[in-house]
Amino acid sequence: MVHLNLGLTALAFVSVCSAIATGGDFNILSFNVAGLPAILNGNEVSGDKATNAGTIGKLFSKYDYDVINMQEDFAFHAYIYATDTHPYRTPTSGTAAIGSGLNTVANFNWFSFSREKWETCSNASGADCLTPKGFTFMRVQVSEGVYVDMYNLHTDAGTEAADEVARSANVQQVANYVDKWSAGNSVIIFGDTNSRYTRALDNIAVFQTQNHLIDPFVQLQRGGVNPTVETLCDNPSRNNNCETVDKVFYRGSKQLALTATYFNYESTKFLQADGSILSDHNPITVNFTWSVAPTRRQSPFYGGPHGTWFNDLDYLPTSPRASVITFRGASRVDSVGVTLTSGATFTHGGTGGTATSLTLNSGEYWTTAKLCQGQKDGWTRIFYIQATTSTGRTLATGTTTVDCVTYAAPKGWGIVGFLGQGGDEVDQLGLLYAPY
């Protein structure tokens, strides 16, 4: 797995409850931009591909979708980026035979970006194995303390037996990745799945059954029932009830309610000057509203995107209260832990260093955490943590650096758990808050 530490940089921060948004909305677009070289695939699209790519970039800017996932963004990538004005962009992984063709532009920043190659591919109906197709992952910051894990994918094409096997494996690979790396988090998957509900071997419903994701097309256009009869969309499509292979799936979390409120094929917005299509795929948009749960919030993340993901959110009791704080460390933070009054204990990291604990008194709660980060063996890790309680008592471990931040629970709230990444030490840390 290749992780790039792009984007999000934590700054010194003290949470002020009234200053943090607790709800809002954003939209996404999924678009296969037909960027293969014309000699490999003309996509039955008229006009010059470079000119068409530049037009796509202009339209991205004109309609200003908040997050856009592109597939087949290969040979004409530079023309799209030259005319698009979104402030955050993935660097291209290269043209066909070198890169995946998966890129994202957005109005939001992100971190923990990675590109994952398919473990299974097939050339039965084409040349899927000749380029490292796969999926991308990024943790997008929609607002302060509000994150959504977003995935972009392009599965194996074709309908030969070997294609079906590969595509089903591709979908399952993403589903398993979601279980491991997005546990407890809000998730949106959007891209070119090359799948239809009416082809059972495609296994596309695994996102619904295994990951508990919702398809906005099924939810908003089909009355919540997956299609059982194949329907093909025109291009451009003016019918939102037909099914395309380009799809969106989503879920909220116990910290963030996420709801799809609008679904549309944006085909008529993405046309050449003469009315011809720009791609052989219909672009899809979905609008989402979000709201933070009244009894759960989280801090920003701090540290590096290394180690194994952990998240205590799903395991917190209804009214969590911290009773004991425990840290292990020496030159860096080896582990962090908290025991709740319910008896639940959450510990993350390794067993090195020296353990130190603070037992909270009745009515006392953990209010702020100071974190410092630094570099060890080329990885950004948590070097220091200091907990301060509502009565001013402190507990600390590790060593301070010049790069530190302080996170504070909202007034009347306390720190009750963790989320982040780690292994033998703590590499990345966020804090979970609950009211007292």
Domain boundary assignment for the chain? 23-292, 297-435
**Structure tokens that stand for 389 in this block:** 């309680």
Q: Counting beta carbons within 10 angstroms of the beta carbon of residue 377, is it exposed (0 to 12), middle (13 to 18) or buried (19 or more)? A: exposed
CA distance 153 to 421: 24
Give residue for tokens 């451009």.
236
297-435 maps to CATH 2.100.10.30: yes
Average the pLDDT over 11-20 and give the result. Answer: 45
**What was the pLDDT predicted at 40?**
66
Alpha-helix residue ranges (DSSP H) falling in 64-94:
77-83
**Structure tokens that stand for 50 in this block:** 């470079």
**What was the pLDDT predicted at 424?**
96
**What was the pLDDT predicted at 15?**
39
pTM for this predicted structure: 0.94
pLDDT band for position 223 (50/70/90)?
A: very high
CA distance 175 to 431: 26
**What was the pLDDT predicted at 126?**
82
- CA-to-CA dists, residue 126 to 41, 222, 401, angstroms: 11, 32, 53
Q: Long-range contacts of range 62-65, CB-CB < 8 Å, 24 or more positions apart? A: 63/29, 63/266, 63/269, 64/107, 65/27, 65/28, 65/29, 65/285
What does the pLDDT look like over 46-104, one tens digit per residue?
999 999 999 999 999 999 999 999 999 999 999 999 999 999 999 999 988 899 999 99
CA distance 43 to 33: 10
Is pLDDT of 224 > 50? yes
Q: Would residue 111 be called left, alpha or beta, if left means φ above 0 and alpha means ψ between -120 and 50 degrees?
A: beta
Give residue for tokens 């934590």.
10
What does the pLDDT look like over 21-33, one tens digit per residue?
999 999 999 999 9
A 10 A CB-CB count for 38 gives: 14
CA terminus-to-terminus distance, the chain: 40
Architecture of domain 23-292: 4-Layer Sandwich (3.60)
Q: Would residue 392 be called left, alpha or beta, if left means φ above 0 and alpha means ψ between -120 and 50 degrees?
A: left
